[in-house]
Structure 1
Amino acid sequence: MSKTLKLLLITLLISASVFGQRPDREKIKALKIAHITEQLDLTKEEAQKFWPVYNANEDAENKLRTKSNERGNRKNKELNESEAKALLLNMVSIEKQRVGLRSKMINDLLQILPAKKIVSLLQAERSFKRKMIEEFKQRHSGDRGSRKRN
C-alpha cells in the first residue's frame, strides 16, 4: 500500500470516526484499524487476507468478554462457596479459550504474513491500548477536579 493511499485511508477513517454519528465503540474500532494499518504496512494482497482473520478473532474475543462480564457481575458477598468456586472455574475456562483464540489467530496469520509483521501487530495492539488509556485518563482527569470542588 503506498504511503499516500495509507495516509488518505487513515485520514478518512479518523475523520469519519470523529465527525460521524456512530457510537464510541465504532469510533474506537475505526481508530484501531487506522493504527494497525499504519503500523503493519500491509500490501493490498496481505490486507485482503489479514482483515477477515483479524476481525473474526476480534468478534470471538468480544463474545468471550461479554460472556465473562455476564457471569462475573455478582458481588463477592452475594456468592456462596460453591458459586465462587464455579465462577473461578469459569474464569479459568474463559482464559484458556482466550489463549486458544490468540494462538489460532497467530497460526492463521503465519499463513498470510511474515512473522515480523505479526510481532508488529501485537506491538501495535499494545501501543493502541496505551494510547486509549492515556486518552481516557486525560479526558477524565478534569472530571475528578470538578467533582471535588462541588
Structure 2
Amino acid sequence: MKRLLTILLLISVVSISFGQGYKEKKEKIKALKVAYITEKLSLSTEEAQKFWPIYNTFDEKQFEIRHNKLRKVMDKIENGGIENISEKEAQSLISEMESNEDEMHQLKKKFIQDLQKVLPAKKIILLKKSEDEFNRKLLREFRERKGK
C-alpha cells in the first residue's frame, strides 16, 4: 500500500508539473526507461523482441488501473473530503480499493508468468530492481528541477 501511494504521488506530481506537453514528456520518459531497462538487463535481440510486447501490455494495463480506477477512488476522497462521506460510502470505497488492488496483483502475477517464458529468473528480478532505480532517479531529478 505504501508503494502504491508513493507511485500515485509520483505520477500526480509528474503529471501536474508537466502540464502542457504532457504526452511529449511522457514519451520521452518512456524512451529513457526503455533504454535504461534494456541496458540494465543486457537484453539480447531475441529477448528484447519477446520482452517488450509483454512489458508494454503490462505497463498499459497497470497505467489504466492506477489512473482510471485508483485515481477515481482518490478523487472521490479528495473532492468530498473524508469528513463528508458516510460510513457506508467509506465501506464502498474500501471495497473498490481492495478490488483494484486485487486486479493489480493478478496483473502482476500474470506479468511474471509471461516473463518467465521469455527471460531467465535473474533478469526478471533485475527488471524489478532496474524499474525501482529508474523511478528513484526520475523522482530525484524532478525534485532537483523543482528546487531550482
Quickly name the TM-score band, shorter chain normalised: 0.7 to 0.9
Figure out how many residues of one structure are paired with residues of the other and give that number: 123
Take 1:79 and 1:37, find their aligned partners in 2: how far apart are those partners? 46
Partner amino acid for 2:56? N
TM-superposition CA deviations, 1:30-71 (whole Å, max 9, x none): 111111011011111111110000000001101101211022
Q: 1:71 aligns with which of 62, 73, 76?
A: 73
Q: Which has the larger radius of gyration?
A: 1
Comparing both chains, which one has the higher relative contact order based on Cα–Cα distances under 8 Å and sequence gaps of 6 or more? 2
TM-score normalized by structure 2?
A: 0.78
Deviation at 1:77, TM superposition (A): 2.4
For 2:97, the equivalent position in structure 1 comes to 91
For 1:26, the equivalent position in structure 2 comes to 27
For 1:121, the equivalent position in structure 2 comes to 127
Secondary structure of the 1:113 match is: coil
For 1:4, the equivalent position in structure 2 comes to none
Percent sequence identity over aligned pairs: 42
Q: Which runs of 5+ in 2 are unaligned?
A: 1-21
Deviation at 1:82, TM superposition (A): 0.9
Take 1:76 and 1:122, find their aligned partners in 2: how far apart are those partners? 34
Runs of at least 4 residues off by over 6 Å: none
RMSD, aligned CA: 1.7
Partner amino acid for 1:95? E
Take 1:39 and 1:73, find their aligned partners in 2: how far apart are those partners? 36
TM-superposition CA deviations, 1:55-99 (whole Å, max 9, x none): 000011011012110222122123211111111111111111111
Take 1:29 and 1:136, find their aligned partners in 2: how far apart are those partners? 15
TM-aligned CA distance change 1:126 to 1:49, over 3 Å: same
For 2:19, the equivalent position in structure 1 comes to none
Q: Which runs of 5+ in 1 are unaligned?
A: 1-20, 143-150
